[in-house]
Structure 1
Amino acid sequence: MPRRSRRAGKGSITSYATKAGTRWRYQLWVPIDPEHPDDGLRQTGKGGFKTAAEADDALTKAKNEAAAGLRSDSSKIALGPYARTWLDGRRIANTTREQYARHLDLHIVPHLGDLPIRSITAARIAKFYRDLEAGGLSASTVRKVGVTLAQILDAAVSDRHVLTNRARDKRAEPPTRKHVEAEAGDFEAWTAEQLGAFLAWDRDVYADELHPLWHLLASTGMRRGEALALRWVDVDLTEGSVNIRRALDSSQTGKGSVKGTKTGRNRVVEIDAGTVEVLRSHRATRGSLSLGLARGEALVFGNGAGEPRNVRSVSNSVWDAFRKARF
């Protein structure tokens, strides 16, 4: 009996009998690992074709994919499980991980998770974005979900599951920046006078314990996590400056943990005389509660026990103040 040839790219078509009639299958020898072709070959294939021509077309497609270096076992890999593995293997900040996880749990997996990665076309992705918008999701959020999906499919290309990233096809483009800006056009930023009026109301009428924080954020533009990570040693009330060296993690899982600034660099910002006085008064108030709360290593905006505040809870507090504001 002649020895069966085992050569990468060599395939065959055979027929077999079923109760429904004759069916056809193809078989193809492919590398066990496309990145290490010397590791040997394995046979892959698929059956159930009604005609030899259908099986032959499928075999040709499989050969082309194998020649391009695609993994032959990728045809059944669904987007959902792959996306979970992708996220688990990433080294990213907790806040970014939470955002990606929300995109997966709420949008990507429910709509696309059961689909094989290879079957996700540009048209299917475009419909996915339209469905999200029709469901009430903002253009800004849909765009962010699109960024997450594109990164997942970038990884799928690198892992040789697909040849191209269909999420980066122009036909599958999520809402553009222009769409996002147009949607946000109904919101108007406060004028300097309106901001000043709010801060005065927040201090004098609302008697907000976090007023010094809002004042500092408004006068410097620093990020909330950066302000909440400030220690008194970072604040120079004589020279009128603040050294921003760290930030609090704003994720739920990272509550109270400190990380570097978003840019990874320290920076010094100047503060005006009014802000200096607000912080000087705030330090005196903290010191009257406990001397330890006013020492150099104490958090400027810690809670009553001197511990880090939850970043999201602080954000909720200012929104509460906005809703109650009367000025």
Structure 2
Amino acid sequence: MARRSRRAGKGSITSYTTKAGTRWRYQLWVPIDPENPDEGERQTGKGGYRTMADADDGLDAAKKQLREHVKFVRSVPTVEVYAERWLSGLALAASTVAGYRRVIRNHITPQLGDLALNKVTATRLARHYRELSAGGRRDGKHTGEPLSANTVNKVHIVIGAMLEAAREDGLIAVNPARKRSIVKAPTGKQIRAEQAEMVTWTADELRRFLSWDRDVHEDELYPLWLTVAYTGMRRSEALALKWGDLDMKGGRISIRRALDTTAANTTKLTKGGGARVVDVDDAVLSVLKSYRAKRGQLSLELARPGAYIFGNAEGGTRSPNEVSRRWRTRVTKARAHLGADELHTITLHDLRHTHATLLLANGEHPKVVQERLGHRDITTTMGVYSHVTPTMQRGASDRFAGLLS
């Protein structure tokens, strides 16, 4: 069969003879560069079909691929190869990219890395998620245990974003991760059902711990725990504070940055993306003033406006993981001294939750709590601290009744 005119989208079917018999091939003219049509066309095709009808079906599929702007390449990259290419082009915070890379390394490449992008089907992704949910953990002694719904959902988000980029690059026609009738990622309800119940301290517990830490343990990090407890700031935000962020006269702390955990002595924007100011009382200001004086005795450089408040002895930033480890040690020792019944075990992040919970339970307006925590909207605040709502409702009821008594 003679080839038709040389124009993109036009194709032909021809037969040829082999030792095994007659075979058929199709040929199709496609743009050299779909994004630059003026560069002309080139011919692509595929042979080995046993019948003319099969070759015609192949030609129809190739034309469909052309209409959907899928590139005609000799070899489609594998998931592993494309994942690295995709990661290197992301214009996101270094910590975010590092998180994506960790997900790909642990939960995508080992199982799907050898597959060509166009061989990743919705059915394969659905099976992958099931396998992860059944035994996808890869962290030391927990390897082989079920992966949490939250982590599986993160895997789905990364795969979806990566395959969407591949679709936009013209390497695949459709994004199989978007086929929701087949690929069923964990729902928000499933994720919330697996989340551990939030543990916070009562005002008495917080008071007992801080008193023990200051007077008995004589902890050099007491000012750090006090600052987090009285402001609700995140660990990374507290460790990125500089003396210039502290307004002694105004009684305020400006939270402008957070530690970048991917590299030492580097910072990034806060999780909310912007700066915020929180008020602190005179007691906290007094502790920080004394702490600054002690830092200045070690070196004047450690007390200058540009120095980190809770930095190390060399003036650099402390390791967030090391700080959390020290917190756990303090809580364990405090429980041994005060009695396990007098103090629950909480994480350093739970100290932030304690700040918010105590404020809300004491009748503080949620909008104020939202601003102190740095949540982008009040919906997030009320969602995280929904367990406090019954107490708030009772308080509102009592206050309203008091107006009419």
Taking structure 2 as the reference length, the TM-score comes to 0.72
Cα deviation for residue 202 of structure 1 reads 3.8
Residues 137-152 of structure 1: pairs in structure 2 closer than 5 A = 137-152=147-162
Matched, 1:219 2:230: yes
Match of 2:118 in 1: 118
Match of 1:275 in 2: 284
AA of the residue aligned to 1:265:
G
Match of 1:108 in 2: 108
Taking the aligned partners of 2:55 and 2:24, their CA distance within structure 1 comes to 6
Matched, 1:9 2:21: no
The more displaced of 105-114 and 4-13 is 4-13
Taking the aligned partners of 2:287 and 2:259, their CA distance within structure 1 comes to 22
Distance 1:55 1:193, change over 3 A: farther
Match of 2:359 in 1: none
Structure 2 stretches lacking a partner, 5+ long: 136-145, 339-405
Cα deviation for residue 206 of structure 1 reads 4.3
The more displaced of 299-308 and 288-297 is 288-297
CA contact under 8 A between 2:14 and 2:25: conserved in structure 1? yes
Taking the aligned partners of 2:191 and 2:283, their CA distance within structure 1 comes to 36
**How high is the sequence identity, in percent, across the aligned residues?**
51
Match of 2:383 in 1: none
AA of the residue aligned to 1:221:
G
The more displaced of 114-123 and 96-105 is 114-123
CA contact under 8 A between 1:75 and 1:117: conserved in structure 2? no
Match of 1:176 in 2: 187
Match of 2:255 in 1: 244
AA of the residue aligned to 2:319:
N
Cα deviation for residue 301 of structure 1 reads 0.5
AA of the residue aligned to 1:162:
I
Taking the aligned partners of 1:321 and 1:29, their CA distance within structure 2 comes to 71
Taking the aligned partners of 2:208 and 2:191, their CA distance within structure 1 comes to 29
Matched, 1:188 2:199: yes
Cα deviation for residue 235 of structure 1 reads 0.9
Distance 1:201 1:137, change over 3 A: farther
**CA-atom RMSD in angstroms:** 2.5
CA contact under 8 A between 1:226 and 1:248: conserved in structure 2? yes
SS at match of 2:13: strand
SS at match of 1:172: coil
Match of 1:83 in 2: 83
CA contact under 8 A between 2:27 and 2:59: conserved in structure 1? yes
Cα deviation for residue 95 of structure 1 reads 0.6
Cα deviation for residue 320 of structure 1 reads 4.2
CA contact under 8 A between 2:4 and 2:10: conserved in structure 1? no
Query: Which one of 169, 172, 183 corresponds to residue 162 of structure 1?
Result: 172
The more displaced of 142-151 and 13-22 is 13-22
Taking the aligned partners of 2:183 and 2:115, their CA distance within structure 1 comes to 17
Cα deviation for residue 41 of structure 1 reads 0.8
Cα deviation for residue 98 of structure 1 reads 0.8
Match of 2:361 in 1: none
Match of 1:48 in 2: 48
Taking the aligned partners of 1:266 and 1:186, their CA distance within structure 2 comes to 30
Taking structure 1 as the reference length, the TM-score comes to 0.88
Structure 1 stretches lacking a partner, 5+ long: none
Matched, 1:286 2:295: yes
AA of the residue aligned to 1:275:
V
SS at match of 2:285: helix
Match of 2:67 in 1: 67
Taking the aligned partners of 2:116 and 2:246, their CA distance within structure 1 comes to 54
Taking the aligned partners of 1:46 and 1:192, their CA distance within structure 2 comes to 74
Cα deviation for residue 74 of structure 1 reads 7.5
Q: Deviations over 1:105-148 (max 9, x none)?
A: 11112222222222222222122111112122222112112211
The more displaced of 195-204 and 225-234 is 195-204
Query: Which one of 258, 262, 267 corresponds to residue 258 of structure 1?
Result: 267
Distance 1:198 1:138, change over 3 A: farther
Cα deviation for residue 22 of structure 1 reads 4.0
Equivalent pairs, count: 324
